[in-house]
Structure 1
Amino acid sequence: MAEAPKPLPFHYQFLCGAIAGISEILTMYPLDVVKTRAQLNTGASVSIGQSFKQIIKTEGVGALYRGIIPPILVEAPKRATKFAANEQYTALYKRVFGFDKLTQSLAIMTGVSAGITEAFLIVPFELVKIRMQDKANVGKYNGTMDTFGKIIKKEGPLALFNGLEATIWRHASWNGGYFGVIFGVKGLLPQPKDKNQQLAVNFAAGSTGGFVGTMINTPFDVVKTRIQGHSGDGPRRYNWTLPSIALVAREEGVRALYKGFVPKVLRLGPGGGILLVVFETVSNFIRRNVLKD
């Protein structure tokens, strides 16, 4: 496997990650709404097609983009953190642990570290997004800032960090799987000979990484959604991640831990490919035309 190019300076990594993240969210967001609705539902599951049809029929097409502002606000720093922190941790761990090149174990370790870093950044925005996406809250919140304000007024400022522990589990597991699989897939595929082949390799590696990451982290995502969806009305049934996973499995069956998996994987499989392709494309453009390495 060819030696990875020298990491870009942090501000360029941030820019590349931001462009990649916004590209992905604008393309795939409606699937996130469907995923959240499925995870909040404690009853029988419905298909993606039925969910889309029901949302459009009862709430209008605009409902498929309800809550998109909070993730857009955090998407740039979130995705930038994912890639920039991953590259920074790679350089750090190479220096500290004596790695002379990127290995799969190093890719997993740096991915987990980047995921934990990312989790602290996004928790309040994730919570607001979920509250706005929840059908039960239609008419309760009037836009993003109103949602922030009402949560703080009713539940207190610390409520914005409900689900932090579950978010750490979700992002550490997804990023570890994502970056670890990308390394493995790139090692198995032939070395690309031109730009088109490079794009194909990046999309295949990123999509496969997104699929595996989603397989690993969906149970954490389900309980995170349940924890953050509680608005302070009535007793809180979901608090900590592992006990909540056990509770969902006991009451609804193990399959319930994968509620929303299909729209989630349809988003994060191809979405992972979009992320990597855009990030690498913009990075290479900067190397060629700005830094001229």
Structure 2
Amino acid sequence: MALKMEQKNDLDFILKSLLAGGVAGMCAKTTVAPLDRIKILLQAQSSHYKHHGVFGGLTAIVKQESLLALYKGNGAQMVRIFPYAATQFTSFEIYKKYLSGLHIPLVQHGDKFVAGAGAGVTAVTLTYPLDTIRARLAFQITGEHRYTGIVHAALTMFRNEGGMRALYRGFVPTMVGMVPYAGFSFYCFESLKYVCMKYLPTQLCRKCDRNTGGLVLTVPGKLVCGGLAGAVAQSVSYPLDVTRRRMQLACMTPATEKFGYYGHVPNFEPHIP
């Protein structure tokens, strides 16, 4: 009976973690979608926007395309981000739980880093094709569309660029970068949370009776810890993020198109809706 109750609690925890992680990821990515798109355009040196900075690029997108163009590719991002964030959040908690039971000094001291890295690798592996498709859609300029949507992009890449390998282009640098990114992200968040609870318990924390009277971070506390942790992790792994984007988008520019195919190079005609 006790075993069944424990299994039920574990299942409830996993489902709640999946829902919480997925919704949180969708909200966060939609909020920063315009910045995400200009980042992709600048990383891959779009001929239309490479001479702009961040704010100049955002203004140029609105003037040359439209306000909604700031969110180009966000549909694919939403399809991707729910399973990505849910898988990452849940697998982190699961890995952390099991790693804490291992009596290995190195693992015990770095369990949050190892759990975070493992969670990131798990989530990226499962959702990487959608990330490639999202980057392709976001890189398109209005009037020069090659892909009409998520399904069309996936089928076109699969048929003309070498099957599944095309959808996983840039996967190796992503994996290399994901270990420090996810590891530092979760490790820094947990470390900053500990600092807040120890030194700023009244400013950024509150008591929670459901947690046996312990402290939990307030919303501003979570924003501070999450923002700083994300900034540190992104800074460490950013060069590999640029490498990944260049590989994913090689077929989208004439100068690098010949490097983007596995096998023959088809003759594409831009699709203008």
TM-score, structure 1 as length reference: 0.72
**1:71 pairs with 2:109:** no
State the number of aligned residues.
232
2:90 counterpart (81, 84, 96): 84
Assess if the C-alpha contact under 8 Å between 1:227 and 1:238 holds in 2: no
Deviations 1:37-74 (A, max 9, x none): 01001886532111011111111112111111211111
Distance 1:103 1:96, change over 3 A: closer
Distance 1:161 1:235, change over 3 A: same
1:214 counterpart (234, 259, 272): 234
**1:37 pairs with 2:41:** yes
Distance 1:172 1:197, change over 3 A: closer
Q: Which amino acid in structure 2 is aligned with residue 235 of structure 1? A: K
The aligned runs of 1:126-137 (5 Å cut-off) are: 126-135=131-140
Structure 1 match to 2:6: none
- The offset of 1:110, in angstroms, is 0.8
1:150 counterpart (136, 144, 156): 156
- Which of 79-88 and 156-165 deviates more? 156-165
- The offset of 1:161, in angstroms, is 1.2
Percent sequence identity is: 22
Assess if the C-alpha contact under 8 Å between 1:104 and 1:183 holds in 2: no
Structure 1 match to 2:21: 17
Assess if the C-alpha contact under 8 Å between 1:22 and 1:75 holds in 2: yes
Deviations 1:222-259 (A, max 9, x none): 000001102287432899xxxxxxxxxxxxxxxxxxxx
Q: Distance in 2 between matches of 1:213 and 1:226?
A: 20
Q: Distance in 2 between matches of 1:136 and 1:49?
A: 18
- The offset of 1:25, in angstroms, is 1.6
TM-score, structure 2 as length reference: 0.76
Root-mean-square deviation over aligned CA pairs: 2.7
SS at structure 2 position matched to 1:235 = helix
Distance 1:179 1:228, change over 3 A: same
Segments of structure 1 that go 5 or more residues without pairing to the other structure are 1-5, 240-293
Deviations 1:18-43 (A, max 9, x none): 11111112211111001000100188
Greater Rg over alpha carbons, structure: 2
Q: Which amino acid in structure 2 is aligned with residue 28 of structure 1? A: V
Q: Distance in 2 between matches of 1:80 and 1:134?
A: 26
